[in-house]
Amino acid sequence: MNLTDSEKRDLVNLIEKNKPIPEEYRFKLFQNQDEIELLWNGKSYEITNVNLPFQVIENVDEPRKQIEPELQGNLFDDRGRKLSGWTNKLIWGNNSLILSSLLNGSMRKEIEKQGGLKLVYIDPPFDVGDDFEFEVKIGNERLSKKRNALEQLAFSDTWGKGEDSFLSMIYERLVLIKSLMAEDASIYLHCDYRLNPVLRLVMDELFGKKNFISQIIWKRTGARSQSKFINHVHDCILFYCKDKEKVIWNSYNTPYTDEYIEKYYRHKDKDGRLFQDTSLIAPGKGYEFNWKGVVKRWRHKKEKLEELESKNQLYYSGKGVARLKRYLDKSEGIPPQDIWLGISNVNSQSNERLNYPTQKPEELIERIIKSSSNENDLIADFFCGSGTTLAVAEKLNRKWIGSDLGKFAIHTSRKRLINIQRDKEKNNKNFRPFEVLNLGKYQREFFFKDYLYKERDLKNYQAENHYYNLILEAYKAKPVEGLNTIKGLRNNKAIAIGPFNLQVTRLFVEEVIKECVEKKITSIDILGFEFEMGLFPNIRDIASKQGLDLNCLYIPNDIFDSKAIKKHQIIFYNTAYIDAEIIIKKDQFKVKLKGYSVFDSDNQFEEALSELKKGEKREILMSNSIIRVQKDKDGKIKKNIIKMKWVDWIDYWSVDFDFENKKEFIREDDKNKWTGDYIFENEWQSFNSNENKIEFETPFRKIVKGKKIAIKVIDIFGNDTMKILEL
């Protein structure tokens, strides 16, 4: 340190008085400190460092649904897909936990075996306010769907303190991503005009200025009339690499646009061919045209120039000027530039459109993937949204990892990727299966501890009780003490609440039933954010045999909105119920979906309406209808009822014809541990998409006795439930 005695005394004095140290001392105290550094309130170099086991929710290998069992043991089938090797990953959950677990867990070895991540594209959420929603089509009606509870909390964490909290979020993710990238890898960070300046500094800090390659300007839309000043019609894509000397780069030319041709190819010859007429060399007045000057100035071989002359492309125009006719060759295209034109955003008429708010065009991502990766490279998108990066990677024969916090995003991506599998199968192309994974019952512990302990400034021992009291207040129940699983009472009905660090599991429900029987309780509601797949309706049958009326309800999205609780607008919806049957014909069978009961909120409907403010609107979901309600400025409530059939709720359903065939293992202490669950192997499915409408019966299959058949249904909002039948 280069400090004088006087400066040392001043520093000690400031520290003793608990006063801030002047900025100029930073470079004197820390000699290796960068001269330029981006600082913000809350910046921390502490990075999530956990290793949570991934759970496989579903294995999707759709085109193989009709392959006979004896063929599945072969290395190849007649459709060409290799059975062994990498399986693509679609992961639901908080991406800081996902990235940390990829980095610290057993999956890291799998990633390194593929050569590491060669390319990462991310499009993190812009600061657009909490107005993220998408439309769900129901017959001729459209219903808006907003973030779920986890997404709302994550959005609040990301933008609760404006740019400061966003930068803390993205900084941590980028540190983790960089650790997973190969030495020859690239990263493309998509942002808009509001975030570009600060994100450029963050990327410089993490990847180094020397590894900056380009700031790409994507003109995504045309000029509009809304702006008072200048319209914002472009996004920025920051392009960095791990090591500029090693980075993968496949140069490309983009097709000539009409505007480019009109600007640069303004001349026509007698045959109507377009050409540029450019000055090749102008030696100056008084000089005679000679080949020596042309060759020296332009470094062309004389033979090449004579060839151009013979084709009437090179000629002498007098005054010592040689001119060149450059004819238009549309196959050449424009060399790479940092301004990308001609790639329109996904509009309402596009075949790609999935009604997902942040969806990007495939052409944009295709240019990135082709230029910065090769076939069979592993690429990733940890804010995958509607799955555009994954879809393009699949089409271009790249391996991929994608993740998102939104269940609907995962569901949208899953359908999109299955359609690509189907298309590849139809065209006899190679394809890979993919897995849907999560951190499930492990993730919530970290998520809510962060929220309850840090944001609410609670001590550990207070956090759980705070959580229970919050839920009970919203459910209008009174807390009770001295019991195990039962936390409250409402209208003489017991209330159990799933632990804040777990989904509601079969084991938890069995504990609830046991306590109810011991205390002679005959009616109970179980509240939870999520419920273990396959839990219903079997668990209700078990409770009924014990003389217990058991009802399970979802804790809603707005539970953490104190204003909504005070206005009594929180509605807890029942879990869904699947009605299905097996139809047998000789030695064959098929599965038929017969019904789907979604929500039942009649008991709270009128109470919620009475608390509406003037001018407020709400959409309330019922089992056989959706009710849009609005209180006008005079306090009068208007209702618009959309009649629903059970089929209207279903967006996707799939079947595993041999459910308990594949056990689920997680890696703990370098050993495989069976979780007690089974992996749902998606052998057949039908869903709504631009290409097809949903079917409600499977094709006939040969009967194999003693098998358990699992049926999974996903509704129009991305919520899933499962039922098990026995053959």
Structure confidence at residue 7 (pLDDT): 81
Copy the structure tokens of residue 721: 């439930």
Q: Which of 199, 155, 721, 167 is nearest to 404 (CA)?
A: 155
Answer whether the bond into residue 197 is a cis peptide, omega within 30°: no
Maximum CA extent, the chain: 114
Q: How far apart are CA 626 and CA 123, in angstroms?
A: 33
Structure confidence at residue 241 (pLDDT): 97
Q: Position 555: which residue type? A: I
Q: How far apart are CA 263 and CA 349, in angstroms?
A: 29
Q: What is the dihedral of CA 596, 506, 410, 59, to 10 degrees?
A: -100
Backbone angles phi, psi at 559, to 5 degrees: -65, -30
Q: How far is CA 263 from the centre of its chain?
A: 40
Sheet containing 625-631: order of strands:
617-621, 625-631, 637-643
Q: How far apart are CA 701 and CA 587, in angstroms?
A: 8
Structure confidence at residue 316 (pLDDT): 61
Cα dist from 442 to 386, 425, 449, 675, 720, whole Å: 25, 36, 12, 12, 19
Structure confidence at residue 70 (pLDDT): 35
Query: Which residue matches tokens 């001590």?
Result: 459
DSSP 151: H
Q: How far is CA 479 from the centre of its chain?
A: 38
Structure confidence at residue 150 (pLDDT): 53
| Geometric angle at alpha carbon 346, from 341 and 349, rounded to 5° | 120
**Residue 481: count of CB within 10 angstroms of its CB:** 6
Structure confidence at residue 438 (pLDDT): 82
Q: Position 206: which residue type? A: L
Q: How far apart are CA 672 and CA 669, in angstroms?
A: 8
Whole-number CA gyration radius for the chain: 31
Cα dist from 727 to 52, 507, 584, 659, 693, whole Å: 36, 25, 10, 11, 28
Q: What is the dihedral of CA 340, 341, 345, 348, to 10 degrees?
A: -170
User: What is the sign, positive or negative, of the torsion defined by CA atoms of 318, 324, 328, 333?
Assistant: negative
Structure confidence at residue 73 (pLDDT): 37
Q: Which of 578, 602, 699, 582 is nearest to 650 (CA)?
A: 578
Q: How far apart are CA 52 and CA 543, in angstroms?
A: 33
**Three-state secondary-structure class, residue 19:** coil
CB 709 within 8 A of CB 655: yes
Backbone angles phi, psi at 401, to 5 degrees: -130, 130
**236 contact partners, CB below 8 Å, separation of at least 6:** 190, 191, 192, 193, 196, 215, 216, 217, 218
Q: How far apart are CA 107 and CA 400, in angstroms?
A: 13
Domains assigned to the chain? 55-254+336-442 (3.40.50.150), 274-324 (no CATH)
**565 contact partners, CB below 8 Å, separation of at least 6:** 470, 473, 474, 559
- Predicted structure pTM score: 0.76
Q: Which of 495, 596, 436, 572 is nearest to 149 (CA)?
A: 572
Backbone angles phi, psi at 3, to 5 degrees: -120, 140
Q: How far apart are CA 724 and CA 158, in angstroms?
A: 39
Residue range 143-161, pLDDT digits in tens: 666 655 556 556 655 666 6
CB 724 within 8 A of CB 538: yes
Residues of the chain with confidence (pLDDT) below 70? 1-2, 23-24, 26-28, 30-36, 62-84, 127-161, 222-227, 278-306, 308-322, 440-463, 499-503, 532-538, 557-571, 598-613, 616-625, 691
Q: Determine how β-strand 55-60 pairs with β-strand 680-682.
A: parallel
Residue range 457-473, pLDDT digits in tens: 555 556 677 778 888 98
Q: Which of 309, 301, 302 is nearest to 325 (CA)?
A: 309
